[in-house]
Structure 1
Amino acid sequence: MTDAEALITRLFDAYNRRDFPAFAASLNDDVDWPDQMYGERGVGVAALRAYWVAQDQAIQVELTPIDFGLEADGRVGVEVNQVVRGLRGSLWSDIRLRQYYTLRDGRVSRMDVVRLEEPSLAP
């Protein structure tokens, strides 16, 4: 496992534990992150914290990294399985994504995401 893969794996672990301080420790202060709920972007750890709090009040998300790869532009690409549930545990979607991480000084400075497939919605 490369240093970049280890960093991003720790990021996923902290995310799934809902441990924001550990999650934020892997980010640059001016991190640029997508707001997938509203199709916007947040810049900075404080903006990401606000996004995290809003998301936790609406849904439960679990991310599982499947495959890592280094992109031609230097970003780290990660194929991810994303499971989204309502607050009572009902399945909303189970999809594959490709997340792209830009690293600077050993931390994440930007994340971009692309959906690899259409969501499979629960009946």
Structure 2
Amino acid sequence: MSLYAAFNARDVPTLLASMTPDVSWPNGWEGGVLRGRDEVGDYWRRQWAAIDPTVTPTAFAVEPDGRIAVSVRQVVRDRAGAELANHTVTHVYRLVGGLVAEMEIRERS
């Protein structure tokens, strides 16, 4: 949960320190997959310059393969504050040595 607080506070150093150096991260805004901390940090900075997303965890579960699934309420606003999106998605994390090695976004159906 503290990583979601760090995301909402735009605390990039804390977020990147929670990831493996070769993290695999979905580019949920532009599409594709990012590789490594530098790409993820650059992505977030681009994203936050254009839009203002906030994510709030609402539920946590452990999947059969050991990954952690987190349901989140995602609210996205433009830089003027107008709401662009407000929905629930699931973030699924694979951890290695206590660090995030991979994240997947599952849209609600």
- Which residue in 2 is equivalent to 1:104? 96
Equivalent residue, structure 1, for 2:10? 18
Runs of 5+ consecutive residues of structure 2 not aligned to the other structure? none
Distance 2:96 2:22 in 1: 11
Q: Which portions of structure 1, spanning 4 or more consecutive aligned residues, are displaced by more than 2 angstroms?
A: none
Greater share of strand = 2
Residue type of the alignment partner of 1:19? D
User: Given the two structures, how large is their TM-score scaled by the length of structure 2?
Assistant: 0.96
Give me the whole-angstrom Cα distance separating, in 2, the residues matched to 1:18 and 1:38. 19
Post-superposition Cα deviations, 1:15-73, rounded to whole Å, max 9, x if no partner, equal 00000001111111111100011220100000001101110121000000000000011
Give secondary structure in 2 for the equivalent of 1:74.
coil
TM-score, structure 1 normalization: 0.86
> Structure 1 residue 29 and structure 2 residue 21: aligned?
yes
Instruction: Determine helix, strand or coil for the equivalent of 1:95.
Output: strand
Which SS does the other structure have where 2:29 is aligned?
coil
Paired residues in the alignment total 109
For residue 58 of structure 1, the aligned residue among 50, 56, 66 is: 50
Counterpart in the other structure of 1:73: 65
Offset of 1:102 from its aligned partner? Answer: 0.3
Percent identity, aligned pairs only? 35
Asked if 1:87 is matched to 2:82, the reply is: no
Aligned to 1:46: 38
